[in-house]
Amino acid sequence: MIVPHTELEPETLINLIEAFVCRDGTDYGEVEVGMDDKVFTVRKQLVSGEAVIVFDEETGTCNIVPAVQARNAGQA
C-alpha cells in the first residue's frame, strides 16, 4: 500500500527518510554525499512523485521505492 508522504508527521517523514538513506547498499556513486543532501534528494523525489513510500502490511514495515517500481508491483 502506498502511503502519501503528506500524511506523515514532518518528524516521522524525516526519520523514515534518514533510515532509508542510512541502509547498507544505498549507493550515491563515487562522490561522498552528506546526510542532509541525501535526505533533501529523497524528499524532493517524494514531493515530485518520482518516489513513493510503500507500507507492507504483512511485515509492518515501510520502504521508499521509485514510483515506477511500485506501479509495476501493482502497489499504485
Label each residue of 16-65 as H, E or C: HHHHHHHCCCCCCCCCCCCHHHHHHHHHHHHHHCCEEEEEECCCCEEEEE
| Residue 11 host element (H or E) | helix 10-22
Candidates 62, 50, 59; CA nearest to 18 is 62
pTM for the structure as a whole = 0.83
Q: What is the pLDDT of residue 35?
A: 86
What does the alpha-carbon distance between residue 39 and residue 29 come to, in Å, rounded to a whole number?
A: 16
State residue 71's pLDDT score. 84
| Domains of the chain, start order | 2-23+34-72 (1.10.10.610)
More confident residue, 67 or 27: 67
